[in-house]
Each structure stands twice: as C-alpha cells, then as structure tokens.
C-alpha cells in the first residue's frame, strides 16, 4: 500500500494510526453534514494521502505530489476527484493559512477539521510532545510564544518549544473549525488542553 510505504515507519505522530483516527472523525463529520457516499469516498482518499506531501515528512514535496497524482490516476479516480483531493491536501495545512485563509471546498473543510481535531485534546497533547521529542525540541523554556497574529510560515517552522506550540497553534484551532460538528468536538478537546496546561504550569513551579 502506497501510504503504508510512505508513513508506516513514521515516529513523529503522523503514522497510520493518525490516519485511521482522522478518517473516523472525517466520516463522522461528513455524515452529520449529510455528504453523499461519493463525497465520503473522496474525503477518505484525501485523508489517506494528506500527510504524504507534508514538508515535515518528505524531503521533496514536488516529487511527493507527482507520486500522489500517479497513484490517484492508477486508482481510476476521475479528473474531478483528483482535482478535489489535490486541492484539499495541498491547501489544508495550518502553516499555509497563517497569513491568508484558503477557501477550501466542503470536502476540504471536513478533512481539515478532522485533521485539526487529531492535533488537540488528549491525543493532541501526546502527539505534540511525541513530535517535539522526535525533533529534539525543548519541552519548555523561558522563551515567549510567537504572537499567532504575526506568525508567517517561516517563523512558524522555527519554533522549537513544545509548550509554546499550544499557544502558537493548538489553542487557536477551535476558532478555526469549519463545521458545527468540528466546533463541538474541538470545544471539549480545547478545555482538556487548557486544564492540562494549567496543571503543567503548577507542576513546573513546584506548587503541586
């Protein structure tokens, strides 16, 4: 399987289990949004492929995009479906939307919500520290988080403090959800992260 070959050995939190979780979330949201079976099939395909072209995970994004195109063509997907999938996976990332929000299709918005939901809550906390550890990032230090309103893609990539990442991105995702189902799920997960960060701060200070 193409995706398994590309991400099966991932140790940054973008592995096959991540894809399975995002797929379940995406289908749940799609059903609440009354998407058709054909649309859900496209959503599933986009979920499967969304991390293959992620610049954090590949050394050559252009080559990865070409490989994805070839896989989709070989699968028998129509030109319209291929265009929809590519539009979604090439424009859904947080870093690509920092300065100007890209207007995704309804399919793209559902995939984006599902992927962002897996970045927050209990699993999001685990993935954030897992990713930071894999890159040698500090768990926390005395540096201040970047102001999210002033972040651009280049500055976003230079952040190497795991706790700061919550303030630069993760706590903001709830307000960026596209669907009602996504907003509802994000509220609960965001509250969990906020409680975790409060407890973490107290423990760092030695107060609890």
Q: What is the pLDDT of residues 133-185, one digit of tens each?
A: 999 999 999 888 988 777 877 778 788 899 999 999 999 999 999 999 999 99
Which stretch of DSSP H or E encloses residue 195? helix 180-204
Residues 6+ apart with CB under 8 A from 159: 145, 146, 165, 168
How far is the C-alpha of 9 from the C-alpha of 3, rounded, in Å? 11
pLDDT of 28:
97
> 43 near 110, Cβ under 8 Å?
yes
> 178 near 196, Cβ under 8 Å?
no
Burial tier of 151 (Cβ tally within 10 Å: 0-12, 13-18, 19+)? buried
Alpha-carbon radius of gyration of the chain: 17
How far is the C-alpha of 191 from the C-alpha of 184, rounded, in Å? 11
pLDDT of 100:
84
Domain boundaries, the chain: 2-204
The string of pLDDT tens digits covering residues 101-126 is: 899 999 999 999 999 999 999 999 99
Bridge partners (DSSP) listed for residue 138: 161
Residues 6+ apart with CB under 8 A from 118: 18, 21, 22, 25, 124, 127
Bridge partners (DSSP) listed for residue 161: 138
The string of pLDDT tens digits covering residues 43-56 is: 999 999 999 999 88
How far is the C-alpha of 119 from the C-alpha of 38, rounded, in Å? 27
> 153 near 98, Cβ under 8 Å?
yes
Domain range 2-204, CATH architecture:
Orthogonal Bundle (1.10)
Chain centroid offset of residue 136 CA: 20
pTM, to two decimals: 0.94
Share of the chain above pLDDT 90, in %: 79
Chain centroid offset of residue 175 CA: 15
How far is the C-alpha of 7 from the C-alpha of 25, rounded, in Å? 19
Share of the chain above pLDDT 70, in %: 100
């Amino acid at each position: 399987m193409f995706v398994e070959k590309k991400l099966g050995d991932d140790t940054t939190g973008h592995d096959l289990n991540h894809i399975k979780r995002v797929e379940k979330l995406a289908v749940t949201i799609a059903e609440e949004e009354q998407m058709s079976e054909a649309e859900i099939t496209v959503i599933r395909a986009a979920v499967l492929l969304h991390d293959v072209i992620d610049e954090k995970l590949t050394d050559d994004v252009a080559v990865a995009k070409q490989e994805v195109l070839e896989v989709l063509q070989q699968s028998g997907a129509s030109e319209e479906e291929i265009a929809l999938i590519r539009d979604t996976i090439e424009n859904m990332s947080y870093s690509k939307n920092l300065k100007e929000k890209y207007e995704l299709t309804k399919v793209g918005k559902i995939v984006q919500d599902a992927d962002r939901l897996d970045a927050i809550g209990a699993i999001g906390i685990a993935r954030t520290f897992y990713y930071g550890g894999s890159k040698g990032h500090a768990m926390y230090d005395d540096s201040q988080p970047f102001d999210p309103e002033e972040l651009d893609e280049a500055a976003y990539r230079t952040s190497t403090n795991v706790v700061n990442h919550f303030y630069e991105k993760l706590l903001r995702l709830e307000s960026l959800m596209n669907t009602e189902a996504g907003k509802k799920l994000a509220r609960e997960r965001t509250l969990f992260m906020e409680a975790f960060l409060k407890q973490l701060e107290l423990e760092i200070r030695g107060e609890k």
